[in-house]
Amino acid sequence: METKSDIPVQEGIDLRGLIKFVIPSLFGVFIFLFPILDGSGSFNIPLGVITEYLIETLSAWLPAIVTITMIISTIFTVSASLFKPSFIQNSSLMTSLFDVNLFWMLTRVIGTIFSIMTFYNTGFDIIRSELTGQVMFGLLTSLIVWFFVASFLMPYLINFGVMEFFGTLLRGVTKPLFTLPGRSTIDLLASWIGNVNVGVVVTREQYQDGFYTGREAAAIATCFSTVSLPFCLVIAGMLGVDHMFPLFYLSVVIAGIVSAVIIPRIPPISRVSDTYLKENKFREKIPTHTSKFKWGLQQAIERAKSAGSLKNQIKQGSNIFLGIAFVLIPQVMAIGTIALVIAEYTTVFQFLSKPIVPLLQLMQIPEAVQAAPATIVGFIDMFMPAVLASGIEAEITRFILGALSLVQVIYLTEMGTLLIISKIPINIWHLFLVFVERTIISLPIIALIAHIIY
């Protein structure tokens, strides 16, 4: 849906608006996209360095913080459903956080019970074991810090015009290649380079503010929310292929880009509603006789001038974080733990993966029977394929499974649940189909690269 922008072309440059665009935008780009060396000598982004420092500093307190957060969320949610207190009903923020349907209320209650069992190491072993509840608890203690830092810094990336500026300049690339608007370029980079869940939140906020259609938001969230470079190193190390890391990561990039070109053009993503949640105020079509740079700069300045004060940014960051802490954390604990119980204590994935064995054998991948479950268990959690693959003797198979798990990237323990509870029009069935599509597209590419290398 493209119409000519109704913002008139201005002859001069608003110096004050230019400064308000440039300084906060440079800060946002630096925090989310700029690679730096961290204390261990590895490349990271400033957001990651800040977050990892806080995680290390607060490590003794984080389990209690996560548990208390879930307890508060559940108490308020149950109260909102049963008693409908006025302090919740009369507040749009409180209503959005705690006034949910029966399914999500029960999910929060279950997640909180699981967290209490895990925190106090009591109750059913199947829930609190190191393979289930402890895994989820460890993820959530990191997630809550990632989201705390990102929530308050994200406005500098999305509110001050950098997305409008580069969107205008790069529309000619992203639109024909990925069927996405130019302004998504910064979002794509933030999703690809930074933390996978932070990328989803950026996309969610842009959709809710009326800058993406439902289809565009779904495509960005499912095709570009890849894992960070440091995590790729971790997976390569777990699988003993870190000595091949440049080629390992190159295979991830190639397969990821090919998937991102194809998947937005086919169901289910192509059938997601291509409409805006709100009126889209910004248009990327450039008026006649105006350069891309000038129009992009004007769009960016207009966006920066409407961004509001520091108080507005803090308020927005607070709302984003509270929505994640009280909504996402207990629901991820419930869904993730149940999914891990199914994966670890049942033969469901061994059964589901049987049709994949002939495909792996056709691609001449060694130990196909042992490798098959690792090709689908990533839908539950992104660590699990690496855990299953670590016991495989053939290095080429470990290489393929590790790279595939990083390209699949749709997993219920974190990112999948965040998408399901967002307003983006995508459900668990859509996510499963995209996971299967990414697997089918990426596996032959990665296998071909692996056979060339080995």
Instruction: Give the 3-state secondary structure of 289-316.
Output: CCCHHHHHHHHHHHHHHCCCCHHHHHHH
- DSSP, res 14: -
Cβ neighbours, 10 Å, residue 126: 14
In this prediction, residue 5 carries a pLDDT of 46
Nearest one of 410, 409, 418 to 331, comparing CA atoms: 418
Please give the model's pTM, rounded to 2 decimal places. 0.78
In this prediction, residue 330 carries a pLDDT of 92
In this prediction, residue 225 carries a pLDDT of 66
Largest CA distance in the chain: 70
For 144, 148, 433, the CA distances from 416, given in Å and listed in that order, are 16, 19, 12
Residue whose pair of structure tokens reads 């105020």 in the numeric block: 281
Token output for 18:
């230019």
| Distance from C-alpha of 115 to C-alpha of 60, rounded to nearest angstrom | 16
In this prediction, residue 131 carries a pLDDT of 83
Q: Is 57 exposed, middle or buried (0-12, 13-18, 19+ CB in 10 A)?
A: exposed
pLDDT per residue rounded down to tens, the chain (454 residues): 444 445 455 556 778 889 999 999 999 989 888 878 776 666 778 888 898 899 999 999 999 999 999 999 999 999 999 988 999 999 988 998 999 889 889 999 999 999 999 999 999 999 999 888 998 888 889 889 988 998 899 889 888 988 888 878 887 888 898 988 887 777 777 666 666 777 788 888 889 888 899 999 999 888 876 666 667 777 888 788 888 888 998 899 899 999 999 999 999 999 999 999 887 666 666 777 778 888 889 888 988 998 888 899 999 899 889 988 998 889 889 988 888 888 889 888 889 899 999 999 999 999 999 999 999 988 887 778 887 887 899 999 999 999 999 998 888 877 888 888 888 999 999 999 999 999 999 999 999 999 999 8
Which contiguous run of DSSP H or E holds residue 73?
A: helix 62-82
Q: Which amino acid is at 295?
A: W
Q: Give residue-wise pLDDT tens across range 211-223.
A: 899 999 999 888 8
In this prediction, residue 228 carries a pLDDT of 64
Per-residue H/E/C for 212-259: CEHHHHHHHHHHCCCCCHHHHHHHHHHCCCHHHHHHHHHHHHHHHHHH
Q: Give residue-wise pLDDT tens across range 12-28.
A: 677 888 999 999 999 99
For 41, 204, 379, the CA distances from 57, given in Å and listed in that order, are 19, 29, 32
Nearest one of 418, 427, 207, 413 to 323, comparing CA atoms: 418
Determine the straight-line distance between the first and last CA of the chain, rounded to whole angstroms.
Answer: 47
| Distance from C-alpha of 158 to C-alpha of 180, rounded to nearest angstrom | 17
| Distance from C-alpha of 201 to C-alpha of 299, rounded to nearest angstrom | 23
In this prediction, residue 283 carries a pLDDT of 61
For 9, 33, 48, 180, 260, the CA distances from 415, given in Å and listed in that order, are 40, 20, 17, 21, 17
Cα-Cα-Cα-Cα dihedral sign, residues 430, 197, 227, 210: positive
Q: Is the peptide bond before 287 cis (omega within 30 degrees of 0)?
A: no
| Distance from C-alpha of 172 to C-alpha of 182, rounded to nearest angstrom | 7
In this prediction, residue 1 carries a pLDDT of 42
